[in-house]
Amino acid sequence: MLQAQALDNRLVATSADDVLVDRIVPGAPLVIAFGFVSWTTRPAFDFYGRLRKLEQASGQPLNKILVRDSGNAWYHRRIAGLGSHVDETAQALRELVRRIAPSQVATIGQSMGAYAAVMFGLLLEAQQIVAFGPLSFLDVQQARLYHELRWLTVMESLAHDAPASGYYDLAALCRARATQQTHLHLLFGTRPDAARPNAASAGGSASISASESVNLDAMHAQRLAAFGRCTLYPFPDAGHTVVQHLIDTQRINGLLAACVLGLTLAPESSS
């Protein structure tokens, strides 16, 4: 059984685990943060530092679960400590939520982590789902239809060797699971990304076409927007790495406070 422990930056940066549970704060909100893809190094945990800053700025303690997919399989294969496929991982997270007994549940992630935030947020019946630049499908046929080639190799791998459970169209999952208690926050850039073959940054792609001139993140957001309560946050000066853009423009903390806790923070200082 996974044990909660008092996390700090060093532990989060050096842990060999794929899931970390912070010390439990009875009755406080829970945020489950999913890490993004990395092709050249092991994927890192994400949003821990930002959630600590949110606690400090808001005065609201948070329960935290950090999850990463060391196999870069969009959380569809084994997550050590949780499960070997999506439904098994969701059940393990469900049991952790029961143990923590939070006042509300939020999921958060960017790129690959955003797909997980939407997928597991719906499966866990989270109240707040905060997704930065998510795909809306992992289906090869739809990817070719929309010319979504950025992570086609991942989709082909899942199709060729399918795990025991999987959710390859988040719009269909939203249709089945989203309710009026489900609030999706979809944050995305609308500026076309420059071609970055074999990129390894947050949201980096293994197979971006050299002629890519369209930002597809807005299309994915629109596919998810028709279900439940959904707020779209388009950023015309950002590409796929919208989180970095929001950090650079000092808007990330305020957006997290609004999306996760429904709070309005004072503008961030430029110093």
pLDDT value, residue 200: 39
Contact residues for 210 (Cβ-Cβ < 8 A; gap 6+): 195, 197
pLDDT value, residue 94: 98
pLDDT value, residue 208: 43
Stretches where the chain sits below pLDDT 50 are 196-211
- Indicate the helix (H) or strand (E) that contains 12: helix 9-14
Q: Tell me the residue length of the chain.
A: 271
Domains (ranges, CATH) in the chain? 4-261 (3.40.50.1820)
Q: Is 194 exposed, middle or buried (0-12, 13-18, 19+ CB in 10 A)?
A: exposed
Q: Is 170 exposed, middle or buried (0-12, 13-18, 19+ CB in 10 A)?
A: buried
C-alpha to C-alpha distance for 69 and 203, rounded to whole angstroms = 13
Q: 10 Å Cβ neighbour count for 84?
A: 15
Q: Beta-strand (E) ranges in the chain? A: 4-5, 19-22, 30-34, 63-67, 105-110, 128-132, 183-189, 229-235
Instruction: Read off the pLDDT of residues 127-167 as tens digits, 9 standing for 90 and up.
Output: 999 999 999 999 999 999 999 999 999 999 999 999 999 99
Position 19: which residue type? V
Q: Is 53 exposed, middle or buried (0-12, 13-18, 19+ CB in 10 A)?
A: middle
